[in-house]
Chain A
């Protein structure tokens, strides 16, 4: 199908900081997500990636609110749903059944005094469609099936309290729980952060397998560019609350066009191959309360000119490809940006 499963237009999210004050954490976000795609939102701390991820499901904490824009989903039955116009009850039905979220920090996402099995039972019963009865046996069958797909032993895990499981097991159980109602879209916030290397690898492999099996569309938020390279079809780089570049994973990693994206890629340390001399991006990200005029990256950018200090350019499409796999960048000097080292050469070794 050619129309996107999720369309975001000009989305802005702000956090109230006082009676009449607020800071804008995300602004001007346009995003189209197509069925079966996996999109990575990458960026450094404070760039707004988690805020955007939460915003996609209207799950913002108390002080956060969507101040403008639109969020349109295509439901399983093909109808369109405007998330911003939904009432509380509609929203509750929409979440988990149509789009689900795996929160950051698997350690704390479960209720510590409720067994894993009861988490499944609660979820399935609470979101049951049109009076469907979830008996104990039905819950166990469904939960068991889900846990087995993430290679956990249902007999043990369903009877366990969260603290009885290791971090990796909790993360896998959490992913299984998130897909319990067969959502079309799964948003994962830092799915492998705080897990050990070998556990990270098994989560990555499981996500590959789950996507193959269930075919859900995936948005994941990460600061780990390695994870993005591993899991994403498409990558969107965020800086100071805006998406500044988006493209296929190969676009972003081999031919980044925004100086910030190139800077990030240049700063990532590879484990295989030679040890390259790496360069950091000078300076620090701006505070949300004191955004520079023009392009937010201009104070740290080697290419910045007077023009960059005056105005900010929108995302410009460089290469159009089907299914929104086009490469877009928000930088006037994009034709000057080059990676320092050629990653392509490493890739072929």
Chain B
């Protein structure tokens, strides 16, 4: 298996024109999803998660930047390639109630795509394939679901039908937009476990969108998390690193704000750091410099409100860790200077002949 990304977003921008002026819902996002891996986008409402996902799914055309699938930009694809891309990338929506046509039976919903793309020869085969798909998402025995209408199913069962429908196309990439947020806890875990099995067994890549950090942690443990704020990625890296050792003040605030299902922990957590403001700025009137500065507890005047911080590698986790924060970057530089100096001192002791400047350039 090659390590080339399945999906690559290059400087993706999506600006919507509104009466109040242009709204940059997504302002320059660079991300990758690899086969069999999960990239989780987390953030609060209005941060651009869904807009990013819709652009990645080819539902909207980005105003700048590119979406590449298997190294090829969507805009350069021939109609044939575009059809293949549409088949390979499937979207699972948030609301399992709205996503299914209420007048179609489960079998009809599941076989529509198969017939459209000519993946089955006849009705019998289509029905057999639909039954197979239902088994794959743990709706067994399939016979008791095939002729049901959506209103006869519970929310969890409906979302499984949605997953089955997306699997009918043998997708390489699943884009899940808050696909588990409307489900109850017990049902959510079982759906996530099902999706995890698909990832491991069928090597499906996931662009997984959620506002729930616990879900992100559970599902993307071997993958990556990108935290978005007002249209930009502010922190990105391997999940255990981002959750266990957040660097960006916004990520820290998010993790600190989670209500843990543990009364003692909750009590201990009560004095957690306060943000300077509870309100999210409007996308039509973004603050200068770092967009988080009006709320940031680490805010420093003159630094944070003058220029926008770039999403830079921190050097941790083999260069896979990126943070967009002036303060973190500055501390990092200081640390590396101190580190270099301490190394310098050691070099001096061990090898007094060696030039002390050598370590600086290292």
Contacts and interface: CB of A to CB of B under 8 A. Distances in A.
B156 interface: yes
Contacts of A70: none
Interface residues of B, number: 44
Interface in B172-222: 184-190, 193, 211, 213-215, 217-218, 221
A230 interface: yes
Interface stretch (A61-69, A71-79, A89-97, A221-229): A221-229
Interface string B247-280: 0000001111111111111101010100100111
Contact of B254 (A45, A151, A198): A198
A265 B260 CA distance: 11
A204 B274 CA distance: 13
Query: What's the dominant secondary structure at chain A's contact region?
Result: helix
Contacts of B243: 271
B184 A223 contact: yes
B189 A197 contact: no
Interface stretch (A24-32, A120-128, A274-282, A327-335): A274-282
Nearest to A169: B279
A223 B45 CA distance: 20
B253 to A, nearest CB: 6
Query: What's the dominant secondary structure at chain B's contact region?
Result: helix
A221 B215 CA distance: 22
Contacts of B186: 44, 263-264, 267, 280-281
B41 to A, nearest CB: 14
Nearest to B44: A196
B278 A229 contact: no
20 contacts: A197-B213, A197-B254, A197-B257, A198-B253, A201-B256, A201-B272, A226-B258, A229-B262, A230-B260, A264-B185, A267-B186, A267-B188, A269-B214, A270-B214, A271-B217, A272-B265, A275-B218, A278-B193, A284-B157, A348-B264
In order of increasing CB-CB distance, the 5 nearest A-B pairs are A226-B259, A280-B190, A269-B214, A201-B257, A44-B184
Interface of B: 44-45, 154-157, 184-190, 193, 211, 213-215, 217-218, 221, 240, 243, 253-266, 268, 270, 272, 275, 278-280
Interface of A: 44-45, 151, 166, 168-169, 196-202, 204-205, 208, 223-230, 232, 249-250, 253-254, 263-265, 267-272, 275, 278-282, 284-285, 343-344, 346-348
